[in-house]
Chain A
Amino acid sequence: MRNVWTIASRELRSYFASPIAYILLAMFSIIFGYFFFSAVAIFVDFSSRGQMGMQMPPMNVDQFIIQPTLGNFSIILLFLSPMITMRLFAEEKRSGTIELLLTSPVRDFDIIFGKWLAAVLLFACMLAISMLNLAVIFLLSTPDWRALLVGYLGLLLMGGTFLAIGAFISTLTKNQIVAGALTFGAFLLLWVLDWVNAYSTSTIGKVCQYIAIAPHFEQFSKGVVELKDTVYYLSAIGLGLFLSKRSLESLRWRA
């Protein structure tokens, strides 16, 4: 565990020593802020109509602000997570520092888990920023904080999945741009899978929907922990890390 932390803390410091972390956080703040703002605007619009005596269903902030805002997270992850993970291994392979890691008395899995953890922690910084936005609602209303926590748990799991896949792709090449592009391509494909097959009832359609990452978040965003979604995310993370380990091993055999 100590080794994992050694790797992760170096990686984190490295994120913040370069502009990348700040750029990502700034981009995230703007995009998330926009999503949040539009959700609030719609909410205000609808509720004012309600006050004007029109026939409207009862409204609450959970359903009209928190759920859609968190639901949009998968789009943000689609764009930002390749930028988080593309350098993880590609850069070490390019500069030769991978030779230091692989000749040190640490297990391959410590290296992979440490790097993934660093990426997840950077993502957690984004989540923290988003919480600042959402805190505003608590000043004005009384949302269900338990549902919100579940939503954030879901975000961590979904983010972890994106980042584990990204980490794996980063082990495949020496070039971080290539890694980034491949990762984005892979995520886009997974996203499209969901989108195209959303209403399909065929077996293939269902399989595609199961594979897609984002739909599994839906229940989390409503504050419900579904076992099958949790299992999906945890096994996807496990698979990503396992493939990374395999890839690192084969890097040795091929080298």
Chain B
Amino acid sequence: MIKVERLTKRYGPTLAVKDITFEVEKGEIVGFLGPNGAGKTTTMRILTGFLPPTSGTASVAGHDVLEEPLEVKKHIGYLPEAPPVYPEMSVEGYLDFVGRLKGIPSGEVNERLDGVVEGCALRDVRKKLIGQLSKGYRQRVGLAQALIHDPDVLIFDEPTAGLDPKQIAEVRQLIHDLSGEHTIILSTHILSEVQSIASRIIIINDGKLEASDTPENLMARMRGHESLLIEIDGPPEDVEERLLAVEGVNGVSRKNGHGGRTSWSVETSKDAVIRSELARVVVESGWGLYEIHPIGMSLEDIFLKLTASEDAAEAAVQDEPAAEAGADSPDETVEPTVSEAAALPEEAPPEEKEESSKQEGAAAS
């Protein structure tokens, strides 16, 4: 359905997208994952015909974006980073305008409009001016706008940015419901955002395609790289020794503690259910246990894990650990963002939102 070959985009001296190649089959949901400035928006803009590529080709539904832009545009519903809405228009008036703009026959516009108003839960605000809506509603108007002509291909640029957790869940559900008949590409900074709904994840960093795989395979490749932060009141030498002795612990490194306590970062294999075991050891040794929680892994680290093999550990050494994401609250609402951490999946269901760890350089192997 979507075919991208050796795509490169240059903005003056800036190389925003470097030689990206991928394909998306009909009915797939693909998540574009990458940190700020990775080139996600640029790639999407090329696919939608908003920007021309500097070199390489892209085609949607068999039509080249440069040669048959109008055909391509007919097949695409696009939600840009900022919803493209006119504040002075009513929701209804705006969707009517977009419907006509997208070429829906006059007789069918109303029917389609009612459809998306229901689908995006906009009935209450139908007559309101868009300028008076909250960010969440405006985002939904943006979604409705992308869906109104029932396109085969949907391209959503950070569809959940700026929404509250309830609305994030709703939008996710909406996207999930759209899968099947539609081919969907969505971008995000947050791994957990796409891992549940995407059939494939494409990771972009610094304009380059780093990985393209199913969420399951990606997780498998990252297995064995969970870290825990543990704060203990006890003699440092003993602590290190005993923690290392626990089965499943690959490495322990000391972080600066405060007061009499010391913080440790513990590298574990992902498979081991290790927290209770660590807690038991600490308590049995008669030390005080103040804190134990998983620490997030930044997207940068994930890229390192995914792309580098042997020298991963070495590379990570230079990476100053700054992991304090996910913190203490098991609260679902705390979504780590890319700068902090990326949520990793947890096979054990009880702690659904567990974050895995930023790699602690010194401890690695």
Is the A/B pair a real complex?
Answer: yes
Query: A14 with B74: in contact, given A100-B98, A103-B49, A255-B51 (CB under 8 Å)?
Result: no
Q: Does B145 contact A (CB under 8 A)?
A: yes
Chain A residues, Cβ within 8 Å of B22: none
Mask for A74-106, Cβ within 8 A of B = 1, else 0?
A: 000000000000000000000111111111111
Q: Does B52 contact A (CB under 8 A)?
A: yes
Q: How big is chain B's contact interface, by range?
A: 20 to 34
Q: Does A146 contact B (CB under 8 A)?
A: no
Q: Among residues 88 to 147 in chain A, which have CB atoms less than 8 Å away from a CB atom of chain B? A: 95-107
Closest to B98 in A: A100
Q: Does A49 contact B (CB under 8 A)?
A: no
Chain B residues, Cβ within 8 Å of A106: 70, 101
Task: Give the docked Cα–Cα distance between A101 and B78 (Å).
Answer: 11
Task: Give the docked Cα–Cα distance between A13 and B89 (Å).
Answer: 9
Task: Give the docked Cα–Cα distance between A83 and B218 (Å).
Answer: 56
Q: Does A199 contact B (CB under 8 A)?
A: no
Chain A residues, Cβ within 8 Å of B81: 96
Task: Give the docked Cα–Cα distance between A143 and B88 (Å).
Answer: 43
Q: Is the CB of A18 within 8 A of B88?
A: yes
Task: Give the docked Cα–Cα distance between A227 and B237 (Å).
Answer: 99
Mask for A1-34, Cβ within 8 A of B = 1, else 0?
A: 0110011001001100110000000000000000
Q: How many A-B residue pairs have CB under 8 A?
A: 71
Chain A residues, Cβ within 8 Å of B84: 95-100
Mask for A57-71, Cβ within 8 A of B = 1, else 0?
A: 000000000000000
Q: Does B211 contact A (CB under 8 A)?
A: no
Q: Does B97 contact A (CB under 8 A)?
A: yes
Closest to B99 in A: A6
Closest to A96 in B: B82
Task: Give the docked Cα–Cα distance between A104 and B100 (Å).
Answer: 10
Q: Does B160 contact A (CB under 8 A)?
A: no
Chain B residues, Cβ within 8 Å of A228: none
Closest to B78 in A: A103
Chain B residues, Cβ within 8 Å of A253: 52
Give the residue of A14, A102, A255 whose beta carbon is less than 8 angstroms from that of B89: A14
Q: Is the CB of A103 within 8 A of B76?
A: yes
Task: Give the docked Cα–Cα distance between A242 and B315 (Å).
Answer: 54
Q: Among residues 93 to 131 in chain B, which have CB atoms less than 8 Å away from a CB atom of chain A? A: 93, 97-98, 100-103
Q: Is the CB of A99 within 8 A of B70?
A: no
Looking at A13, A97, A98, the one whose CB has the most chain B CB atoms below 10 A away is A97
Q: Does B85 contact A (CB under 8 A)?
A: yes
Q: Is the CB of B93 within 8 A of A13?
A: yes
Query: A17 with B73: in contact, given A6-B97, A104-B101 (CB under 8 Å)?
Result: no
Looking at A7, A18, A104, the one whose CB has the most chain B CB atoms below 10 A away is A104
Q: Is the CB of B51 within 8 A of A252?
A: yes
B49 to chain A, nearest CB (A): 6
Task: Give the docked Cα–Cα distance between A252 and B54 (Å).
Answer: 11
Q: Does B50 contact A (CB under 8 A)?
A: yes
Task: Give the docked Cα–Cα distance between A107 and B49 (Å).
Answer: 12
Looking at B48, B50, B81, the one whose CB has the most chain A CB atoms below 10 A away is B50
Q: Is the CB of A103 within 8 A of B48?
A: yes
B138 to chain A, nearest CB (A): 12
Task: Give the docked Cα–Cα distance between A3 and B73 (Å).
Answer: 14
Closest to B81 in A: A96
Give the residue of B50, B71, B87 whose beta carbon is less than 8 angstroms from that of A252: B50
Q: Does B86 contact A (CB under 8 A)?
A: yes
Q: Is the CB of A101 within 8 A of B49?
A: no
A118 to chain B, nearest CB (A): 13
Chain A residues, Cβ within 8 Å of B51: 252, 255
Q: Is the CB of B86 within 8 A of A97?
A: yes
Looking at B11, B50, B93, B101, the one whose CB has the most chain A CB atoms below 10 A away is B101
Query: A10 with B97: in contact, given A97-B86, A103-B73 (CB under 8 Å)?
Result: yes
Closest to B80 in A: A99
Task: Give the docked Cα–Cα distance between A104 and B145 (Å).
Answer: 11
Q: Is the CB of B73 within 8 A of A104?
A: yes
Give the residue of A18, A95, A104 whose beta carbon is less than 8 angstroms from that of B102: A104
Mask for B345-360, Cβ within 8 A of A = 1, else 0?
A: 0000000000000000
Give the residue of B74, B88, B100, B145 whose beta carbon is less than 8 angstroms from that of A6: B100
What are 14 contact pairs spanning A and B, CB under 8 A? A10-B97, A95-B82, A95-B86, A96-B81, A97-B86, A100-B98, A100-B101, A103-B49, A103-B80, A105-B70, A105-B71, A105-B73, A105-B103, A252-B51
Please give the residue numbers on chain B whose beta carbons come within 8 Å of chain A beta carbons, in ascending order. 11, 45, 48-52, 70-71, 73-74, 76, 78, 80-82, 84-89, 93, 97-98, 100-103, 145
| Additional A-B contacts beyond A6-B101, A102-B50, A105-B70 (17; CB < 8 A) | A14-B86, A17-B88, A17-B89, A95-B87, A96-B84, A97-B85, A99-B80, A100-B80, A100-B84, A102-B49, A103-B49, A104-B98, A104-B102, A105-B103, A106-B70, A252-B51, A253-B52
